[in-house]
Amino acid sequence: MRGNSLPLCVFSTLKVVEPETRMIMKKCIASLLVATFAMVQSSAQVAIRSADMFSEIGEYYRAYVNAQPEDPFAGLETFAIREQVGESGGPHLWDFSEGPTDQIRRFDYVNPRGTIVGASFPEAPIAERMTLEANGEVKWLLFDQIPLVGRRVFGAFDPLFDEIAIVFDQPIIDFPDPMQFGDKWSTSLTFTNSLSVLGIDFPIRVTQISEFEVDAFGFIELPNLGFGDVIRVNELVSQTDAIESNIFGGSGDPELDAELGGGGTTFQDVQKTFHRNLYFIRPGLGIVAQITSATSEAAPGPNFQEAIYFVRMFETNKQPPETCTDPSAVNDLEISFSGGRALLKWGETDCTDSYRVEFSALGGIEGSWQPLGETQGTFMVDPLAAIDPIRIYRVISRKATSTIGQ
């Protein structure tokens, strides 16, 4: 078949998995030519999915962290971290095989039912229990891991500081599924707690707004776990603390105060602070390192120079998900037409992160393919399908390559 001799209602499916190419002929379904491809996407565009994160009960990891003061209310010392932070973009090599080993944190993923936090978080199926091995201090994070959505966090509990568990007004998705270089998102959470002043407990309200960006990518080397691909998530956190207004002189009449405040308990902002977290997330191993800046009244820059925490994973029982290298080709593409538009839809294929749809108005000759769009879904609409007498479409299944060094 060549040139214009190709019938208009031929449906051709090409499966391309480099370096092989083979053609499979399918029946005619529309007066357009349709080609589908599968392609391995190279190098940097690593996509992190729910399966890469810790979410199975029984999983654990251990991580080194720099020394913390014995008095938890004492100020945290900062240390230079410039070489470990680096610039945005990539690819970079973060050599975290060496670093502070003063303390060890162990993270266990357990069923929250029957634990100290279970009753406070009835909707959370998973609890992350962080234990400081030196003294047994424990902190809790309650969440759910939802494929194609991300990690939904319900709240936390630090018995050392919190009288009661911190239950967020609304759960947040802090790490969406998927994540890859260039992605940006934000979260906002509010919770109430109490502050003890001279032995008297006062209600406080805390509001945290986080702005996230996957701002860098490359490779990371870890103690005992070797090297592998990684993305870096840069989070800027702003926290506003507010105290119940009556502390600053209410009328003493609850009904009057409620009326003046618009009803209910009112709070007055007393402090706003900022800090940054850098999360290094590796396919199959989740968050493998974290660097946290000092808290300040002004937002620290994205490539801050001093940190208060440097955490590095060195041991885990998490088994990386079964890896695949070749995305499957779409073999059930269908086209329907309405009002000069074309709807392309297909079934989900194995080992695929995204689909790129292209079209050609010149019979598919080399150099004639133009992008229609890219999607992680299984459909796309061409609003200009009627412009050309004939359009050939192809759907390219794409898979981001990744390597986990052990």
Lowest mean pLDDT among 9-18, 172-181, 187-196: 9-18
Pairing relationship of beta strands 33-41 and 392-400 according to DSSP bridges: parallel
**In this structure, are 17 and 145 located in the same domain?**
no
- Under DSSP, is residue 324 helix (H, G, I), strand (E, B) or coil? coil
Residue 197: Cβ within 10 Å count: 10
Amino acid 82: pLDDT: 66
Per-residue confidence (pLDDT) for residue 64, from 0 to 100: 96
- Select the highest-mean-pLDDT range: 107-111, 302-306, 396-400: 107-111
- 153 and 219 inside one domain: yes
Which range among 72-86, 179-193, 317-331 shows the weakest confidence by mean pLDDT?
A: 72-86
pLDDT over 80 at 178, yes or no = yes
Residue pair 31/53 in contact (Cβ under 8 Å)? The answer is no
Rounded to 5 degrees, φ, ψ at 148 are 65, 5
Write down the pLDDT at residue 180. Answer: 93
pLDDT confidence tier of residue 8, bands split at 50, 70 and 90: very low
Count structural domains, the chain. 2
pLDDT at residue 304 in the model? 85
Among 316, 346, 362, residue at a domain's last position: 316
Average pLDDT value over all residues in the chain = 80
Dist CA 216 CA 232 (whole Å): 5
Q: Are residues 335 and 238 in the same domain?
A: no
**Sorting pLDDT into bands at 50, 70 and 90, what band is 160?**
confident
Q: In this structure, are residues 52 and 286 in contact, taking their beta carbons and an 8 Å threshold?
A: yes
Asked if the structure places residue 147 within a domain, the reply is yes
Q: Residue with structure tokens 């199926």?
A: 125
In a domain, 405, yes or no: no
Whether 37 and 71 map to the same domain: the answer is: no
Q: Which of helix, strand or coil describes residue 264?
A: coil
Does residue 76 have a pLDDT over 50? yes
Do residue 162 and residue 199 come from a single domain?
yes
CB proximity list for 88: less than 8 A, separation 6 or greater: 215, 216, 234, 302, 303
Which residues contact residue 199 at a Cβ distance below 8 angstroms, ignoring those fewer than 6 apart?
Answer: none
**Residue 124, pLDDT above cutoff 50:** yes
Same domain as 327, residue 306: no
Residue 49 counted as domain residue: no
Tokens of 96: 């975290």
Say how far apart CA 288 and CA 280 lie, in whole Å.
Answer: 6
On whether residue 392 sits in a domain, the answer given is yes
Given a cut of 60, whether residue 154 has pLDDT beyond it is yes
Q: 402: pLDDT confidence band, cut at 50, 70 and 90?
A: very low
311 and 328 share a domain?
Answer: no
Q: Look at residues 258, 283, 316 and tell me which one is the last residue of a structural domain.
A: 316
Describe the chain by its helix, strand, coil percentages, rounded to 5: 5, 50, 40
Q: Which residues contact 186 (CB under 8 A, 6 or more apart)?
A: 209, 210, 211, 212
Whether 406 is in a domain gets the answer no
Higher pLDDT, 63 or 118: 63
- Residue 371's domain comprises 3-44+323-400
Average pLDDT of the segment spanning 34-41: 49
CA distance 234 to 227: 21
**Which among 281, 299, 316 is the end of a domain?**
316
Residue 94 backbone dihedrals phi, psi, to 5 degrees:
-100, 105
Mean per-residue pLDDT, 302-321: 88
Instruction: Note the pLDDT of residue 271.
Output: 87
Q: Are 143 and 60 contained in the same domain? A: yes
HSE-CB of 234 using CA atoms within 13 angstroms:
20
Same domain, 89 and 8: no
Same domain, yes or no: 141 and 231: yes
Predicted pLDDT at 195:
66
